[in-house]
Structure 1
């Protein structure tokens, strides 16, 4: 996926979760933040960010904040981007893909994709990952009851004879793996381990990121015992 008319800027402040103040060559811009998460480790004063011009003259904000530099990492932080690149990646994830339908309800959840491939019926839930610590990426960056609920309902899909997949799209490259965030949300970590043990396919992929684009690169190791792996590395 690509963005149009991207310009750099310097992050100044975030008055609320929807708005950021960014200094650009044209002056101070009030921008829409395309990620309502905390992003505290990303949106720090002085960080270099990238803005995409919306092209919608009816909007109050001219630009969307879509990416940020964190040290040597360039991180896409557009919360809509993971589903877009996941749709592009789906033929590789599910060989023999014949049907892909977004936003499909099962039980009390609405999953990101329903797919049919090689005679199998799949529900796929996509999670974007922007949190990095020490070369590992983590999800979530804040407690998410909804995230754990989705994982448990993917287990319900398995019981009903469907195939199910939780796909974590890491919106950066240059990292060594993915792990659930045991410290911030132990309930989500527990649900992820239960899902894997119940037959839900767990996949994590990193992305090739530029200020103007995002595309899935390759699979990452998933570490389901975070503290142990930290000690070993």
Structure 2
């Protein structure tokens, strides 16, 4: 996923009220940008970080700028915009990046299975050896919380995330293939774990999902000043 037009570089002054961030651009102008991330953003929003903003010319928008990327003091890039995770996964599905999903023939976004109460990020279509179409449902989570080179999800309590895991488990137990993909938008993360110390309920729901047969994966992204690409699988430790 390449950013077009090019992102604007600046320095983070502060993030506040969850959805707002004040940024000083390279020309000295101070702007307020939309922060498209509802999480705690631990380690992602340190004042002084180099940040990158997209700019919108839509006159109906309240805020002209959106915070897309941050760069830590030791040079690692972080994808701030959680909405980009699904775009990255969609692009990876189209380009057959991950071996686990290389046989996907089609996908649809934001689908509620006929027997479910939750809407999932993707409905995937595979073909088996007999050329029969098989439907699979996948949920995507964006990972940015890093402790040294270890990534953790979630960074805050997520009742919705736990609900999705249990629903995936229920579908898996009924014979429907389901998967959970942790999309890591932090170049310093080398492996992924469930953050039991932050949300034990979510951690338990992931264990329930795994026991029920939900396939759980983690994948990392290559990130620089103007693009993000989901590029390879990462070790997942449950």
Query: What TM-score do the two structures reach when normalised by structure 2?
Result: 0.89
Gaps of 5+ in 2: 128-132
Name the SS for the 2:78 alignment partner.
Answer: strand
Is the Cα–Cα contact under 8 Å of residues 121 and 140 in structure 2 kept in the other structure? yes
Alignment of 1:178-217 (within 5 A): 178-217=192-231
Is the Cα–Cα contact under 8 Å of residues 95 and 117 in structure 1 kept in the other structure? no
The 1-side partners of 2:71 and 2:3 are apart by: 17
Selected match of 1:140 from 130, 154, 157: 154
Work out whether 1:101 is the aligned partner of 2:108. Answer: yes
Farther off after superposition, 79-88 or 41-50? 41-50
The 2-side partners of 1:100 and 1:40 are apart by: 33
Corresponding residue for 1:2?
2
Corresponding residue for 1:229?
none
Farther off after superposition, 36-45 or 214-223? 36-45
Alignment of 1:29-108 (within 5 A): 29-70=31-72, 71-90=74-93, 91=96, 92=98, 93-106=100-113, 107-108=116-117
Name the SS for the 2:237 alignment partner.
Answer: coil
Work out whether 1:126 is the aligned partner of 2:140. Answer: yes
Deviation of the 1:54 alpha carbon: 2.0
Farther off after superposition, 3-12 or 131-140? 3-12
Gaps of 5+ in 1: 225-233
**Alpha carbon RMSD of aligned pairs, Å?**
1.4
The 2-side partners of 1:52 and 1:59 are apart by: 13
Deviation of the 1:42 alpha carbon: 1.3
The 2-side partners of 1:34 and 1:195 are apart by: 28
Alignment of 1:170-185 (within 5 A): 170-185=184-199
Selected match of 1:111 from 97, 100, 120: 120
The 2-side partners of 1:46 and 1:62 are apart by: 21
Deviation of the 1:164 alpha carbon: 0.4
Deviation of the 1:215 alpha carbon: 0.8
Deviation of the 1:87 alpha carbon: 0.8
Corresponding residue for 2:19?
18
Deviation of the 1:161 alpha carbon: 1.9
Name the SS for the 2:164 alignment partner.
Answer: helix
Corresponding residue for 1:231?
none
Is the Cα–Cα contact under 8 Å of residues 10 and 25 in structure 2 kept in the other structure? yes
Deviations 1:187-220 (A, max 9, x none): 1111112211211100000000112111111111
The 1-side partners of 2:197 and 2:36 are apart by: 25
Deviation of the 1:79 alpha carbon: 0.9
Is the Cα–Cα contact under 8 Å of residues 170 and 212 in structure 2 kept in the other structure? no
